Amino acid sequence: MPSDYVVVGSGSAGAALAFRLAEAGRTVTVIEAGGTDWGPFIQMPAALSYPMNMKRYDWGFESEPEPQLNNRRLVVPRGKVIGGSSSVNGMVWVRGHARDYDHWAEQGARGWAYADVLPYFRRIEHWHGPQASDWRGDSGPMHIRRARQWNPLFHAFVEAGRQAGYPVTEDYNGQQQEGFGAFDMSVWKGRRWSTANAYLRPALKTGRVRLVHGHARRVVFEDGRAVGVEIARRGKVETIRAGREVVLSASSINTPKLLMLSGIGPAAHLAEHGIEVRADRPGVGQNLQDHLEVYIQFAARKPITLFRYWNLVGKALIGAQWLFTRTGHGASNQFESCGFVRSAAGVDYPDIQFHFLPIAVRYDGRAAAEGHGFQVHTGPMRSPSRGAVTLRSADPGAPPVIRFNYMSREEDWRDFRRVLRLTREIFAQPAMAEHVRHEIQPGAAAQDDAALDAFIREHAESAYHPCGTARMGAADDPMAVVDPECQVIGVEGLRVADSSVFPRVTNGNTNAPSILVGEKAADLILGRAPLPRDERAPWIHKAWQTAQR
């Protein structure tokens, strides 16, 4: 007996979707290529740099050589484990700005404006903040806590933002995103609170959801309708059938790949690979977006950074404390202070994000050679550059071709230079004077445009927020892949619910918006009336047209 629904992917959106469908009494089969998330590398928040660099948990994707970044290939981590990328991400909880969703609606995603999605964010959350807020949820599956900002550097960074003339926000996920403050993180009782923990395990306990470990190869159609998914497992190929619908929640990299392997995509590209065209949708795989960032690093005057633990004994002590008590430095992602600012007058809402970290270190775990230091991860939030995910071959086992085309527009360079200069201004404030010994990178000598551009080419990295490759839009939009009901245009019985459907990348980390898609898609699939709109207006700087801060 087939399940009512087959969902491909147990990640941010897929797990939320399965949970809500099961809650409504439907049966669901979730197909996941990865294995268990058990173990400290995933569950300990401070170990976040490990799982995204482990073949056991990561798909191992990388981009094609990026022409504007010295032809470097950039890694594109995606979670290959239950919980998907929510099990390997940085656990930074950012809804995005209200204007992001209003833009989605303007682009044809009717029903996805901020007033439409705010009630869903509240349904998602169980917020453990310093005080109750009716902008936040208090009983949802995702436990979200406010960072405790344990290190003096976290407070100094926020104070430096205030001294530079920016506001301090009490809750960037509430009414006012713009400003500096403490980060929220998806951590609960010292553990990573992934969608595997929040949604998938409770869904499995209902008995209406089953988890099948296998590699999805293509969607199976009969008479123009999706009826199942062909998977490879245990050395055999089989079909998992769906009684009602198939939903792809396989990531912004694997979802377009699956659509194209199933005959849905740009007709000429499919023909190149000998794939029969089922629906000519030129937007499949296009519109690829991401956030590009650099680490601006400083040497510290005082030995108060996390570098004191950056040795075998220090890491063992942190690990042991976490293992036995779920407390201490191991219970934090260490991204505990943040900022959201506008890059120029005339920009109506923030387009720069700062992640502050009290150590100078890379995502791959390599610390700066100078010892004690700290850094801020930053970059523009709304790059106009667009890339694509395309097929390498018709072999389902072959990785797709990923081209971001980073920094391919002149505006990218202008905006990134502005980010670097505004960041330096913040770190030059009195609050940071007692902490900054000197700038490690880009380094004080890098001042003119050419030097900054060279630094960007050599050091810019992905923030790991790829999205947009199956864009949502009006059904008559030739570049849209799904309609506002998340239905794939041109076929029946098939939907997409993950970050692929974003018309444009949101302002911040993309985990929370991805879960939003799964939550809202569940109501659409069930034919339920959407949650009542919340018409409250976000805070917008009253002088945004004439003032940068």
User: Which amino acid is located at 524 in the chain?
Assistant: L
Q: Which two tokens stand for residue 334?
A: 């260490």
Residue type, 17: L
Per-residue pLDDT tens for 232-253?
A: 999 999 999 999 999 999 999 9
Average pLDDT in the 430-458 region? 97
Query: For position 1, what pLDDT does the model report?
Result: 86
Residues of the chain with CATH 3.30.410.40: 148-182+292-380+408-459
Nearby residues of 78 by Cβ (< 8 Å), 6 or more positions away: 58, 59, 61, 84, 85, 251, 253, 254
Encoded tokens for 549: 């801060």
The reported pLDDT for the residue numbered 370 is: 80
d(CA 349, CA 347): 6
**Whether 350 contacts 434, CB under 8 Å:** no
Confidence band (pLDDT; 50, 70, 90) for 363?
A: low
pLDDT in tens, 305-345: 999 998 999 999 999 999 999 999 999 999 999 999 999 99
**Annotated active-site positions, please?**
465
Does residue 333 contact residue 357 with C-beta atoms inside 8 Å? no
The pLDDT score that the predictor gives to residue 42 is 97
- Return the bridge partners of 215, or none: 232
Joined together, the tokens standing for residue 108 give 């044809």
Report the share of the chain in percent with pLDDT over 90.
96
**Cis preceding-peptide flag for 442 (omega within 30 of 0):** yes
**Tokens read off for 497:** 């619910």
What is the predicted pLDDT for the residue at 362? 74
| pTM: predicted TM-score of the whole model, two decimal places | 0.98
Residues of each domain in the chain carrying CATH 3.50.50.60? 1-133+187-289+465-544
d(CA 53, CA 58): 7
| 517 vs 496: CA distance, rounded Å | 9
3-state secondary structure of 41: helix
Average pLDDT over every residue of 203-209: 98
Neighbours of 29 (CB within 10 A): 22
Write the class of the CATH domain 1-133+187-289+465-544. alpha beta
Backbone angles phi, psi at 435, to 5 degrees: -110, -30
Average pLDDT over residues 483-507: 98
Using CA atoms, how far apart are residues 418 and 412, in angstroms rounded to an integer? 10
- How many residues are listed for the chain in this entry? 549
pLDDT value, residue 369: 65
Structural domain 148-182+292-380+408-459, CATH architecture? 2-Layer Sandwich (3.30)
Q: How many CB atoms lie within 10 A of CB 527?
A: 7
**pLDDT given for residue 365 in this prediction:** 65
For residue 211, the model assigns a pLDDT of: 98
- What is d(CA 385, CA 107) in angstroms, rounded to the nearest whole number? 17
- What are the angstrom distances between the C-alpha of 222 and each of 5, 119, 260, 270, 284? 16, 37, 17, 20, 21
> Which string of DSSP letters, residue by residue, matches 42-81?
HHSGGGTTTGGG-TTTB--EEPPPBGGGTTBPPEE--B-B
Question: What are φ and ψ of residue 58, in 5° steps?
Answer: -125, 145
What number is the average pLDDT over the span 154-165?
Answer: 98
Q: Which of 194, 181, 191, 129 is nearest to 355 (CA)?
A: 181
Distance CA 252, CA 30 (A): 17
Which range is least confidently modeled, 164-178, 357-371, 488-502? 357-371
**Closest by alpha carbon to 32, among 169, 204, 152?**
204
pLDDT at 267 over 80: yes
Residue 16 has pLDDT above 90, yes or no: yes
* H-assigned helices in 62-166: 98-106, 114-124, 152-163
By three-state DSSP, how is residue 430 classified?
helix
Cα 491–492–493 angle (5° rounding)?
130
End-to-end Cα spacing for the chain: 60
Structure tokens at 94: 């950012």
The predicted pLDDT at position 63 comes to: 98
Average pLDDT over residues 420-439: 97
What DSSP designation does 390 have? E
So what's the pLDDT on residue 361?
A: 84
CB atoms within 10 A of CB 302: 11
- Work out the average pLDDT over 71-79: 97
Give the chain's radius of gyration (CA, Å).
22
Average pLDDT of 2-8? 97
Note the pLDDT of residue 53.
Answer: 87
| Residues 48, 158: Cα–Cα separation, whole Å | 24
